[in-house]
Amino acid sequence: MRSYDDSCGIARALDTVGDRWTLLIVRELLLGPKRYTDLQHALRRVAPDMLSQRLRDLEAAGLAERAQLTGPGRPRVYRLTDHGRELQPVLVALGRFGSRLPLPEHPPALSPDATAVALLTVFRPERAPGVDLRVVLELSGEEFAVVITDERLDVSRDPGPASGERTPTARIVTTPAVLTRVLWHGLDPADAERSGLLEVHGDVDAVADFLAVFRSPLGPVPAARG
């Protein structure tokens, strides 16, 4: 591995996570564990040998680890360690900075996890006084629990409420491309629902509250396919 050979904390951090693809892999693992094939699917342009090397680097740095989940098939996954999860505010800050930069000429749709992490980067707590809700967000088959309470936002991979947890207030079913257009690029959610691009189940007022706590559109983008 190349090093800046600089004692500054920023340089030492970049020695660990500054290589190409590393932080995007962390982004994909931020909300929960994933199989290697899941990472390949989300990061379509990364070469398999590059992905394997970056995962080894993250393991060697103590930022990620391999684990075996319980349940049918007991899949082997990669997940962030506690140390790796400390990168969340770094990624959120980078996302906020990057949201003000120009989009690519032909922007590809975000992955479901990248879309869910984007919610953290554009959350507007000043718009959330009194908002108390739990929404299940289903993006192209991937489910996330989005909880807003006490002017705070929490997003996690969660297939459903466990015993003792709050019942979801509403469920939104759509794709990353459509949600991006609804939240930030001016697509009316009612139009999206009427055209079958978005489904709402449960409390429609809670869905309106959910949509209201994110940033206004930052600028026009080419129309995204559903």
Q: What is the CATH number of the domain that holds 145?
A: 3.30.1050.10
- Judge whether 73 and 66 are in contact, CB under 8 Å: no
In this prediction, residue 132 carries a pLDDT of 92
In a domain, 217, yes or no: no
**74 — alpha (psi -120 to 50), left (phi > 0) or beta?**
left
In a domain, 45, yes or no: yes
Mean pLDDT across 118-133: 91
Domain count, the chain: 2
In a domain, 219, yes or no: no
Domain that holds residue 192: 103-212
In this prediction, residue 223 carries a pLDDT of 45
Q: Are residues 86 and 138 in the same domain?
A: no
Q: Are residues 55 and 115 in the same domain?
A: no
Q: What is the CATH number of the domain that holds 49?
A: 1.10.10.10
pLDDT in tens, 160-212: 554 446 688 999 999 999 999 998 888 899 999 999 999 999 999 989 889 88
Q: What is the pTM of this model?
A: 0.85
What six digits make up the tokens of 2? 């190349």
Which band of pLDDT confidence, cut at 50, 70 and 90, is reported for residue 215?
low
Q: Are residues 183 and 112 in the same domain?
A: yes
pLDDT in tens, 7-53: 999 999 999 999 999 999 999 999 999 999 999 999 999 999 999 99
pLDDT in tens, 76-123: 999 999 999 999 999 999 998 988 888 788 878 889 999 999 999 989
